Amino acid sequence: MAFYFKEPSRTFNEYLLVPGYSSAEHTPANVDLSTPLVKFKKGEEPAIKMNIPMVSAIMQAVSGEKLAVALAREGGVSFIYGSQTIEDEAAMVARVKSTKAGFVKSVSNVMPTQTLKDILALKEKNGHSTIAVTEDGTTNGKLLGIVTGRDYRVSRMDPATPVKDFMTPLDKLITAPEGTTLSEANDILWDHKLNSLPILDAEGRLQSFVFRKDYETHKANKLELLDDHKRYIVGAGINTRDYKERVPALLAAGADVLCIDSSEGFSQWQADTLKWIRSEYGDTVKCGAGNVVDAEGFRFLAEAGADFIKIGIGGGSICITREQKGIGRGQASAVIDVAAARDEYYKETGIYIPICSDGGIVYDYHMTLALAMGADFLMLGRYFARFEESPSAKVNINGTFMKEYWGEGSSRARNWQRYDMGGAGKLSFEEGVDSYVPYAGTLKDNVGHSLAKVRSTMCNCGALTIPELQQKAKLTLVSATSIVEGGAHDVVLKEARNRE
């Protein structure tokens, strides 16, 4: 006879937090949102700890290199999407890692024989206003000069004008030798009133740039997440098919943490992948797994060697797995069940395996609910897809700016490996849709706004850390009528009157 869960499958919308005692010290400024990303033993510190409980989803429309840098600056981690060639994913990871805090590899480069038209095309493509002119047009070629917006006027110049005729040549540039510290480079910038400082090796080859604006950005991002070499921490997605080739390439590119990208993690394929990683690298390589929705699935992946475990099947805004296959579980029920299993495993073994709530977040307060229910951090797709830094196109739909957003199970993504059950290399049917989400501006502004709500709510619950929130939180189920009561009701909104 089939097993039946006694409780209904519940979503975050069905719960509210009940306030606890708040003392004078419970202010948002005192809240610490740091959280472990990977497992650790009792009494030890995790190898990677985030400063905010947010990671970006392993999706083509979400986790590109620009978003990875932007999120790391805020204290979280992006997982570069794996539904691309090994070479392209590794190159993305390498570019994020080369964005050393303060030292930026030049990705916009031209040869002196190229033209103003090429400069404008590069600026349109990469959004960079400073372009290096190197002997061979490569990132680390011999530097001959630079081009900035002050070097040309589009309205008065022929697009065919060679770069060498209007660039600022090397002999008029102030540069610094390889080995210059970030502090020294910033002093040079300020002393000479520069916007950029090229760093050259002994042969005059370009190594990186230091920009004045990055100094200000660094000072403004006190939570930025860096490795021991002052490079941004970044993750990468892998699948259960080509991991023997993909994992070494991603590690060589500098990936700090990996995650198996799959719609369902309670499988032999994930266990085999984790087993191979452990046999090749031991515990030095950190790799998460998932997704699961109950205690049995958590225990399976924990014993298989996962460094963190993702929760959620069918709860994503573009996911139609439940609709197509009738499989999944309400995200709140899944998080509560898996969190209890995580705590039980910790008591038994002394090993704490962080859990990640992936999907089901519609409103900002759902983030706080997920953390209170036991999640150590959240994986977000739609949330990050709305931002300027996501890889998808910004389009105008009926006068409103939108961002394209599609699921990894959609025909557009063609990510059949994510739904791998050992069969043929293709999607048998779609488990995701192709859609739009409203454009919301920059990541920094939105993440700051969302986490301000989380911090405030935690103070209402008498908690200053995520573990304390999980210990003190009081949650109540809500009825349909209490949901109506919780919003604006029995009034005429001014906006509605104005529209009439």
- The residues carrying an active-site annotation are 319, 418
- Give the separation between CA 175 and CA 198, rounded to whole angstroms: 5
**What residue type is assigned to position 487 of the chain?**
G
Residues 230-261 as b or e (16 or more Cβ within 10 Å = b)? ebbbbbbbbbbeebeebbebbbebbbbbbbbb
Q: Is 195 helix (H, G, I), strand (E, B) or coil?
A: coil
Q: Is 18 exposed, middle or buried (0-12, 13-18, 19+ CB in 10 A)?
A: exposed
Write the CA distances from 127 to 110, 157, 159, 384, integer angstroms: 15, 21, 18, 20
Spatial CA neighbour of 270 closest among 231, 229, 307: 307
Which strands make up the sheet holding 109-110, listed edge to edge?
109-110, 131-134, 143-147, 168-169
Crossing angle, helix 331-349 and helix 295-304, to 10 degrees?
A: 50
- Give the separation between CA 367 and CA 369, rounded to whole angstroms: 5
- Give the separation between CA 275 and CA 323, rounded to whole angstroms: 33
- Give the separation between CA 211 and CA 191, rounded to whole angstroms: 13
Residue 309 φ then ψ, to 5°: -130, 130
Is residue 66 a contact partner of residue 56, using CB atoms and an 8 Å limit? no
* CA angle centred on 110, ends 109 and 115, rounded to 5°: 140
Task: Please state, as a whole number, how many other Cβ atoms lie within 10 Å of the Cβ of residue 424.
Answer: 7
User: Is the link from the previous residue into 109 a cis peptide, with omega within 30 of 0?
Assistant: no
- Give the separation between CA 238 and CA 248, rounded to whole angstroms: 11
Residue 253 φ then ψ, to 5°: -75, -15
- Give the separation between CA 430 and CA 337, rounded to whole angstroms: 28
Helix, strand, coil percentages, rounded to 5, for the chain: 35, 20, 40
DSSP secondary structure, 328-361, as one string: ---HHHHHHHHHHHHHHHHHHHSEE--EEEES--
